[in-house]
Structure 1
Amino acid sequence: MSESSLATLTEVTRTYGGVPVLSSVSLAVDPGLTAVVGPNGSGKSTLLRVLAGATEPTAGTVRVPEAAGAKPVGYLPQRVPFRDGFTARETLAFYARLVDDDPDAALDRVGLADAAEKPVEALSGGMRRLLGIAQAVLGDPSLVVLDEPASGLDPGMRERAFGAAADRADGDTAVVLSSHALDLVDAHADHVVVMHRGRVAAAGPRDAVLDEYGVADVGALYRVVAGDARRGAGAADEGEGGDGTDRDGANAEESAGEESDAAVHVTGVSDR
């Protein structure tokens, strides 16, 4: 871990029903935008939940930053749990009061000022994700954890969600997100972590990792590290399905109400 790291995971393991979803994961998270990518069943959501403090590790330690603002960590889960019957402003105002922040400023930061009076149930999927990002960054956290902020969105909304996340990352703030939108990861990420069956197959500053593997972009990196090689090995692995996902790990995490995951070792993202 470098002096600039804001969060760390040290030998973190997480199991569900005896099945390892994360296994001896060590990771350091530096300021900037870190993207965690990998197939379904690779441990991404569990890694982010542990990092955010939403899930306790079975073993190991997690360190997160001291609170620079009203809270040290902001978190957006895959499923945004906003209640119907309230406007976007009312929803955000509830959370903003807890950390003494301005809901209108938060809406404006993610481009939702014009939708402030819309009921939550009337917002599009993209707007709900943006509202979730606005909620996650209330209180000026030093570490922001976003699980699939662009999932299920149209191209324009995907770009807005990624842009809002990237705008939050700076020299004092680390934003860690998971995503299958490799084009947006390539355009916005400062650091990248590639997960493979619950372990980190590649991690580090984006440009350095691309150079290490001799590839031009994150899409090519994914194919080299977790794509073709994974499928070739997966056909012979008794515990994997034909698509290369680890069925045991996936079922363990899905039964726990999270994205499917398997077993992990990382270097570059976490803390708490």
Structure 2
Amino acid sequence: MKTISIVHKKGGAGKTTLAYMLASGALNLGLKVHLIDGDRNLQLANWKHRFEEYNWEIERPQWPHNLTHENLHGSIDGLYEALDKAERNGINLTIIDTRPGSNEDTEDIAYAADLILIPLRANPADYELAKSTYDWMVALRSSFPDMEQYPEIRMVLSDASKGIIDAMAPESDVSKITKSEYFVLSQLMEMPFLDTPIPASKVCEQLPFFGPLGPAAEAHEKNKGTKLQSKSITKILEFATGLSKETLRYGGSV
């Protein structure tokens, strides 16, 4: 089983959106996914509830049987018990969302994973806090001297414009991106990051209500009036699937 912790010092930095995308991509790959919500606002744990309460105006799809979730309860021992249970239940990928701030419990959650992900928006203000989070995670290694293998740490560019997505390609033209985007992109290249970004899209804004992208795309495809919406969702699903494929390279087998 692979375990991913998503960390950021700042609230509203895109951690939960990243979790939605990873879950959507992993489900599209046929994996069994479990979500653990360690944030106090329970955005991730309430995903299914919002999905069921959303006014679809079309036939609502079925919530995937291979996607489960729970709140994080108790101490770090409780987390390891939850991870052991997930593995016994045949889960392939567990995604853990964390609360903002420099918290000791976040440190424990982060280092229970195979991979730590830090979302980064392409503006200098977000970069400073994301870089601070990255430095925090790197510095933590000295606090775990007995660990045989440390989790990998990767940045994930989120809410990315088409220009900056194009600029991430090899031998690309960076003249079409803003100075702020160029600054963040140049700094990102100095740190370990995932190649697949999360694009800026209204679909991503609707993820809390749509639920996983695959079922949402299929539901809109069945309705004559929402086929264009289905295409938009499918396009974002391609990014989500690519993102999930990248994360599966880290840690043990699925």
Smaller-chain TM-score bracket: 0.3 to 0.5
TM-score w.r.t. the length of structure 2 is: 0.35
Structure with a larger share of its residues in helix: 2
TM-score w.r.t. the length of structure 1 is: 0.34
